[in-house]
Amino acid sequence: MKKAGGQTMLDETDEQPKSTLVDYEQTFHRIGAGHVVKGRIVSITANEVVIDIGFKSEGIVPTHEFDNPSSLKAGDEVEVLLEQIEDEHGRVVLSKRKAEKSQGWDRIVEQYGEGDTIDGRVTRKVKGGLMLDIGVEAFLPASLAFLKGFGSLNSLLGQTIQVKIVKINPSRKNIIVSRKDLLEKEKQESKAKILEELEAGTIRKGTVKNITDFGAFINLGGIDGLLHITDMSWGRINHPSEILKVGDKIDVKILSFDKETMKVSLGLKQKDSNPWLEVDKKYPIGSRVKGKVVNVVPYGVFVELERGIEGLVHVSEISWTKRVVNPAEVFKVGDAVDIMVLNIDKEHEKISLGIKQTESNPWTGIEERYKTGMRVKGVVRNLTEFGAFVELPEGIDGLIHVSDMAWTRKVGHPKDLLKKGQEVEAIVLMVDQVNRKLSLGLKQLTMDPWEEVASKLSVGSSVSGVVTKVASFGVFIEIEKDVEGLLHISETDLQSAQLLESTFTVGKKVQARILKIDIPARKIALSAKGVPQE
């Protein structure tokens, strides 16, 4: 007979009373596999720890299941889990780790529920996340480990972190936890705390977190604020990256904030005084200043007077004499220009500027310098469908309309008579200083041939001429140099346009009689009826 676990047990060779066997079998049945029991260490080897749990034979636990095997000694009491009552060698199979896990599971389930917070040590990385020791093993999915994205799971290995229990599965004895929920809660609490500290108009330090086309997000130490591009500088900015980069430490001014939406608006330029406040004193209307072209648009150029102060030179205020269609052909960004302040609108922060006002106006007194009938010389600067612009020595353009290019010839387009860059002589026909218009004539350089025609020809007289053009309604005949008359089909002995075209060919000499002379309209009507042809 031997003692085991405080109980008296019969040796296998001893004769066992029937009542004792019954008690043993009942105890054996009551403490089955899967139960946690107490035992005492009998002996310790390099690989095994022999433990007596009061059964007919001792149990075996692998040495590596103990955290500190060297501290163990015979007689120590330990709790183990009964895995198997008898293995193939007749030994009881025990487990220290599984006992701890079973006890840990019971303790965790008793003390914690879903939604509770618990500390755990990250023990290892597995597929899809991390395993934590919270008394039992718990799974932390990668998607619940960080606020955004997956982050670096390796950075958490070995750390003790706080997590929230999101799912407990008793049947499988597994627990899923989340770190993200606590981080989000911590973030919101931090934001709320900072919002309580914020005060509009105060200066706060921040770090540039992100840059977009419309501005930059600044981390104020727990909450992000938006620094809009329009609040970065009093001057012109095309993109926030011109003055900021990610990671920059800057001082910003709190413009406004909303505690409910947790949105914060920041300003950088507001740290300095608005240069527009004293703009009318610094740049009074009529003053001449120097500036730099910062932008060129189809309707003019923007000129910077100083950082934060820009004005517009409208295309109409660029030159007294030249019609500027495309400012980009005259100016480029960076050009230095002399300008005059024409108007100031402080409320809307606008300044109207002029370049031509810095020069004398050549149109002033032009009616005294260019009298009607005066003969002038100039260079053809531009050709249009309605006429030609001629630049006179003072830089003033005069217009020769197509109707003033020839007395008798019908000019379809000015290019038929003139070309760009050609020097021409013309007569001043009209000068309008108020509307800045000067009209010139080319045909006025010679006498009107119709005046001579009126003195030489008379109604009823016979004339001879050469066919210059044949139309369906009649024939044009040149009867004097650059003077044509119309022989209408009704004034011939022909009855169809086809016969007209075959009878009167271009270049043919024709005899006719004058029916009508209209000097103002410069028209002569002819007739061939009863007029013998050569």
pLDDT digits (tens, 9 = 90+) for 253-266: 889 888 777 788 99
Tokens of 344: 């100031």
The closest alpha carbon to 168, from 108, 99, 244, belongs to 108
Tokens of 128: 């899809």
The DSSP annotation for 45-108 comes to -SSEEEEE-SSSS-EEEEGGGSS-GGG--TT-EEEEEEEES--TTSPEEEEHHHHHHHHHHHHH
CA distance 458 to 255: 92
CA distance 314 to 244: 32
Per-residue CA distances from 67 to 62, 78, 515 (Å) = 11, 13, 136
Return the domain boundaries, the chain. 2-100, 112-183, 198-271, 275-358, 366-445, 449-527
With a cut of 80, say whether residue 28 has pLDDT above it. no
Tokens of 242: 């011109």
CATH code, 449-527: 2.40.50.140
What's the average model confidence in pLDDT over 136-165? 84
More confident residue, 384 or 323: 384
Residues in the chain: 534
Residue for token pair 């009508």: 516
Residues forming a β-bridge with 202: none
Instruction: Work out the pLDDT band at 21, boundaries 50, 70, 90.
Output: very low
Residues forming a β-bridge with 93: 60, 84
What's the average model confidence in pLDDT over 447-467? 83
Tokens of 514: 């004058």
The DSSP annotation for 439-476 comes to EEESGGGS--HHHHHHHH--TT-EEEEEEEEE-SSEEE
Q: Report yes or no on whether pTM surpasses 0.75.
A: no
Highest mean pLDDT among 55-64, 102-111, 276-285: 276-285
* pLDDT mean across residues, the chain: 83
Looking at the chain, the whole-number percentage of residues with pLDDT higher than 70 is 90
Q: What is the dihedral of CA 221, 226, 231, 236, to 10 degrees?
A: 110
Fold match, 2-100 / 449-527: yes
pLDDT in tens, 290-312: 999 999 999 999 999 988 899 99
Residues forming a β-bridge with 488: 474
CA distance 74 to 41: 5
pLDDT of amino acid 482: 73
CATH class of 112-183: mainly beta
**The domain 275-358 belongs to what CATH superfamily?**
Nucleic acid-binding proteins (2.40.50.140)
What's the average model confidence in pLDDT over 32-51? 80
Tokens of 96: 């220290």
pLDDT in tens, 206-232: 899 899 999 999 888 777 889 999 888
Least reliable range by pLDDT among 148-152, 356-360, 524-528: 148-152
pLDDT of amino acid 523: 85
Q: Is 115 left (phi over 0), alpha (psi -120 to 50) or beta?
A: left
With a cut of 70, say whether residue 8 has pLDDT above it. no
pLDDT of amino acid 375: 93
Question: Residue 435: phi, psi to the nearest 5?
Answer: -95, 5
Looking at the chain, the whole-number percentage of residues with pLDDT higher than 90 is 27
C-alpha of 128 from chain center: 37
With a cut of 50, say whether residue 43 has pLDDT above it. yes
44 and 17 Cβ atoms separated by less than 8 Å: no
User: Residues near 81 by Cβ (< 8 Å), separated by ≥ 6?
Assistant: 34, 35, 36, 37, 94, 95, 96, 98, 99, 102
CATH code, 2-100: 2.40.50.140
Tell me the CA end-to-end span of the chain in Å, nearest whole number: 169
Q: Tell me 318's DSSP state.
A: S
With a cut of 70, say whether residue 352 has pLDDT above it. yes
Residue for token pair 């108009």: 201
With a cut of 50, say whether residue 80 has pLDDT above it. yes
What's the average model confidence in pLDDT over 269-284? 87
More confident residue, 147 or 20: 147
Q: Tell me 270's DSSP state.
A: G
User: Residues near 530 by Cβ (< 8 Å), separated by ≥ 6?
Assistant: 513
Tokens of 469: 């053009």
CATH class of 366-445: mainly beta
Instruction: Work out the pLDDT band at 410, boundaries 50, 70, 90.
Output: confident
Q: Tell me 533's DSSP state.
A: P
Highest mean pLDDT among 74-78, 91-95, 190-194: 74-78
Report strand pairing: 300-306 vs 77-84.
unpaired
Tokens of 320: 């007294």
More confident residue, 500 or 96: 500
Residues forming a β-bridge with 382: 389
With a cut of 80, say whether residue 26 has pLDDT above it. no
CATH code, 198-271: 2.40.50.140
